[in-house]
Amino acid sequence: MATYVYLSLIPEALVASMLAPDDFGLYYAIGSAKRSRGQALFFSVDRDKLDPKEFPLEKIDAECVPHPDGSPKLSVYLSIYRVLERVPRDALVALHLATDDGRVLTLKPEAFEPDGEKRAHLYQEFCPVTPRVVSRLHPGEFAEFITDTAKSVHIPRLVYAELTLGNLKNNADHPDIDNLPYPNIGHLRDCLRELAFGPEKATKTVLRQMTQEVLYRTIRNGFFVADADGITSFPLPSRDALEREHLAWWRSAQSTFGH
């Protein structure tokens, strides 16, 4: 049987498994006993690009072996602390998004290209920190800002996504919020106003940490992995492509009622 290495974001961990991504997403989301369920976000990792001085890679071959009955080994944990910053960005070969019933959508990495639109941005950070912030910076600029080692407050590497702001992206006082599913829209409007009237301010925290599951349907343009050396994009398919090619995942994603 083949073995795989995954970087889980919720929680942060490096895991070896004999399960392929779709099966691992199902297992990670609902568990082997199917008594609990929850979303899973995880990367497929190129094992050959991992530093054996950083991770006990020998455990993969030693412990990731079939059970006596021939069933695959589900998981072998290799690390659970400060994992993201120690996995090279180019070792992240795919991002897998599992819904809480275990349906998996796989995204491939692409070079980041800004869309050129001037607007406010709403970012959800996933790892290693989890605030939700509004910003005047596009995803590439936000990456440079948050990973700038010259700043006293910075992050070595960050996984984040841009969420939709609907009609609020250019007008915090727009009367039609277009069914935005975020808690406390009044507070979100206040944060956007503070950003608009304070040109020296690059970001404003909306929520200090994630409190609910990810609303995949609010992801505007995909996920990003950024560090001081650059940014990698994992674009989400268009709405049309989701409905035509990934309908089962999309229906499941739409049934999630988090914040």
pLDDT digits (tens, 9 = 90+) for 165-210: 999 999 999 999 878 888 889 999 999 999 988 778 899 999 988 7
Expressed as residue numbers, the domain containing 59 is: 4-108
Total count of domains within the chain: 2
pTM check: above 0.85: yes
d(CA 234, CA 94): 8
Do 123 and 27 reside in the same domain of the chain?
Answer: no
Mean pLDDT score of the chain: 91
Q: Which residues contact 214 (CB under 8 A, 6 or more apart)?
A: 39, 41, 124, 126, 256, 258
> Is residue 20 situated within a structural domain?
yes
- Final residue in a domain of this structure, among 85, 108, 131: 108
- For the stretch 113-168, pLDDT in tens is 888 788 999 999 999 999 999 999 999 999 999 999 888 889 999 999 999 999 99
Q: Tell me if 210 sits within 8 A of 124, measured CB to CB.
A: yes
> Is residue 259 situated within a structural domain?
no
36 pLDDT band (50/70/90 cuts)? low
254 pLDDT band (50/70/90 cuts)? confident
pLDDT given at position 212: 64
Do 28 and 143 reside in the same domain of the chain?
Answer: no
pLDDT given at position 107: 98
Q: What is the DSSP letter of 133?
A: E
> Is residue 224 situated within a structural domain?
yes
